[in-house]
Amino acid sequence: MTPQDVPTDAQDVARDSAALAPWLEGAQALALLQGALAAGIVQAAREPRTPVDLAADARLDVRRVEAICRALEAHGIFVREATTYRLADAWRALASTAALPLLRPRIEAMPAVTRALVAAVASDASYWTTATADRLALAQWVTLDPTSPLTPRLLVDALVAAPEATARLEAGGRWVEFGCGVCGGLLSMLQAYPRATALGLNLDAEVLAIAASRAVRLGVQDRLELRQADAGTLDEEASADVLFWSQFFFPAASRAAVLRAAFRALKPGGLLLATLLSEAPASPAERQAPTGREHAIDHVLYGSWDVPIRSADALRAEVSAAGFTPLRVAHDGFRYLAAQRPVSRP
């Protein structure tokens, strides 16, 4: 834009900022949806309901609920039929008791994700300077809610690419997780493999407290030990059958010690499963596709926490240098690298 193109009156501003409008609208629409979920209005509209009924359930003023229903209809979330509103078919997952726990944390964490991104772009903030409540929201944003009946199945599906690990878990093996967070994956695993046991390590006491209360709710607390500790300090020898590493939360400076601890803790022949973010886009068109945009945002966010963004090849090289034998990369949905502690050191 040359200086003479700079908008000079209100009409010009509206024309030249048209690209911004859908983003502002999207942010408002998400806030509307989050509020309607919190009030229970979305879930109640799985059947056609009048605003009067919805207001009574939500204990809100009828006029306010009428306005909310109209706004949800305007965004295509509700369909109006005579005097009633119901959830539109495209949004019916929000009324499913199995799917809602998977979707809701992603919606509810968005304000925290937004704040973390602003901080990542505009300051030298890191994960550890993020407010505790936001760290908790981010920890829930990146994982599955294990209280959904769908998650054990999702976990089993994700582990199809690591049959060496599932054989050990079925036989009552021990899963050690580095950076277990709120234990979305770990608690799903304990439900899917009723003979398995687990140890979860995390630096953050607050996220471990959520994990501990979920374990009790799911009745798996007797098979789980949680420790607030730096994973790099674990000095167990050959005690794990599977070591799950949420590597894209681990800053560069911590990784060598963490990989040494992982190697030590795994039994010879045991499996290292290390999570992967999406690969870098291969073409200019891919850079602006949803996966390319996700990759670029990941770089900004995780990069601001001093975490190196590893491609599958780079992670393979990193774990090989630590003595592991890379086996394969699981690509379907949830991406991770499976590697093995050799039965004997080469």
Q: Does 203 bind ligand SAM (CB under 6 A)?
A: yes
First-to-last C-alpha distance (Å) of the chain? 61
Q: 172: closest CA among 194, 200, 199?
A: 194
Q: Does 231 bind ligand SAM (CB under 6 A)?
A: yes
d(CA 115, CA 108): 13
Closer residue to ligand SAM (CB): 173 or 181 = 181
Q: Does 182 bind ligand SAM (CB under 6 A)?
A: yes
**3-state per-residue secondary structure call for 214-271:** HHHHHCCHHHEEEEECCHHHCCCCCCEEEEEECHHHCCHHHHHHHHHHHHHHEEEEEE
Q: Does 326 bind ligand SAM (CB under 6 A)?
A: no
CB of 307 to ligand SAM, least distance (A): 9
Sheet holding 240-245, edge to edge: 224-228, 197-202, 174-178, 240-245, 266-275, 336-340, 325-330
SS3 of 173, please? coil
Q: Does 119 bind ligand SAM (CB under 6 A)?
A: no
Residues 238-277 that bind ligand SAM (CB under 6 A): 246, 249-250, 254, 258
Number of CB atoms found within 10 A of residue 237's CB: 10
Closer residue to ligand SAM (CB): 246 or 304 = 246
CB of 323 to ligand SAM, least distance (A): 19
Between 141 and 180, how does the x/- string for binding to ligand SAM read (CB under 6 A)?
-xx----------------------------------xxx
Q: Does 202 bind ligand SAM (CB under 6 A)?
A: yes
Number of CB atoms found within 10 A of residue 225's CB: 13
Q: Residues 51, 185, 270, 292: which binds ligand SAM (CB under 6 A)?
A: 185
Mode of pairing for the β-strands spanning 336-340 and 325-330: antiparallel
d(CA 327, CA 346): 16
* Region from 51-59, 107-115, 229-237, 326-334 binding ligand SAM, contact rule CB under 6 A: 229-237
Q: Residues 230, 279, 286, 298: which binds ligand SAM (CB under 6 A)?
A: 230
* Region from 20-28, 197-205, 213-221, 278-286 binding ligand SAM, contact rule CB under 6 A: 197-205
Closer residue to ligand SAM (CB): 66 or 206 = 206
Q: Does 302 bind ligand SAM (CB under 6 A)?
A: no
Using CB under 6 A, count the residues that bind ligand SAM: 24
Alpha-helical runs (H) found in the chain:
10-16, 21-38, 41-44, 51-58, 62-74, 100-108, 110-122, 132-141, 151-158, 163-170, 184-192, 205-218, 255-265, 284-287, 290-303, 312-321
CB of 288 to ligand SAM, least distance (A): 28
CB of 204 to ligand SAM, least distance (A): 4
Q: Residues 42, 69, 169, 207: which binds ligand SAM (CB under 6 A)?
A: 207
Q: Bin 219: left if φ > 0, else alpha if -120 < ψ < 50, else beta.
A: left
Q: Residues 181, 270, 292, 326: which binds ligand SAM (CB under 6 A)?
A: 181
Residues of this chain that interact with ligand SAM (CB under 6 A) are 139, 142-143, 178-185, 201-204, 207, 230-232, 246, 249-250, 254, 258
